[in-house]
């Protein structure tokens, strides 16, 4: 029994080392220099998410300084936002999402939340298709979601239309958009059913919900 326990520990350690090595390879594809790469504060969290800090030094001594990074199954994030770090680098991502955004409960029993997530996903796909067809621009704020020519534009679970705004960012980046519901109370802010849920929350909600 003791030999079996030791073998299991060895296999777990080998698996963690392999995950860390793969994560480092993926991080290093995002770095401007690769001559000397140093890591610190590296941890693995729920779902195999790897978080840490990396410093890269170039041939002529240029350094990036220690930068935070996150490696998820489907992407790498160099210089993550505070929201990224709080949610993905957490032992309880679901609780982190609820606390960070006042959206709760984040689970599959919350049918209103599931409906909002599904609607935002569908509208995002339609907006991306519009962007490709129109070459470089989302609909203007004035045009709104009606410009997407959908058979039926979804409304939120509380009977209100989703709010859309095209947002100008720094040149030369193309305009982005904000899409949201103001929740059950129809007012900005709030928590639980009254919480605002926007397109910028979607990656975190998708991640948390897939853990169930």
Question: Does residue 16 register a pLDDT over 60?
Answer: no
Model pLDDT, residue 7: 42
- Both tokens of 111, joined, read 């049918």
Strands 163-167 and 76-78: unpaired
Contacts within 8 Å (CB) and 24+ apart, 16-21: 16/44, 19/44, 19/48, 19/50, 20/44, 20/50
Q: What's the predicted TM-score (pTM) here?
A: 0.87
Each residue's pLDDT tens digit, 121-155? 999 999 999 999 976 789 999 999 999 989 999 99
Q: How far is CA 163 from CA 16, 141, 186, 191, in A?
A: 44, 10, 11, 18
In sequence order, the β-bridge partners of residue 176 are 167
Give SS3 for 119.
Answer: helix
Look at residues 28, 6, 153, 151 and name the one whose alpha carbon lies nearest to residue 78. 28
């Amino acid at each position: 029994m003791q030999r079996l326990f030791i073998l299991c520990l060895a296999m777990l350690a080998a698996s963690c080392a392999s995950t860390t090595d793969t994560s480092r390879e993926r991080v290093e594809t995002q770095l401007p220099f690769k001559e000397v790469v140093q890591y610190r504060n590296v941890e693995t969290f729920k779902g195999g998410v790897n978080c840490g800090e990396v410093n890269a030094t170039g041939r002529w001594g240029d350094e990036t300084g220690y930068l935070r990074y996150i490696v998820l199954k489907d992407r790498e994030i160099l210089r993550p936002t505070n929201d990224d770090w709080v949610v993905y680098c957490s032992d309880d991502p679901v609780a982190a999402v609820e606390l960070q955004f006042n959206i709760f409960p984040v689970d599959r029993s919350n049918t209103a939340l599931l409906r909002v997530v599904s609607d935002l996903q569908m509208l995002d796909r339609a907006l991306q298709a519009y962007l490709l067809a129109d070459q470089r621009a989302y609909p203007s704020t004035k045009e709104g979601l009606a410009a997407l020519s959908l058979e039926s534009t979804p409304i939120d679970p509380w009977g209100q239309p989703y709010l859309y705004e095209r947002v100008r960012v720094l040149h030369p980046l193309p305009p982005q958009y904000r899409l949201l519901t103001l929740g059950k109370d129809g007012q900005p802010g709030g928590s639980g059913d009254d919480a605002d849920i926007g397109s910028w929350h979607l990656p975190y909600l998708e991640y948390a919900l897939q853990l169930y």
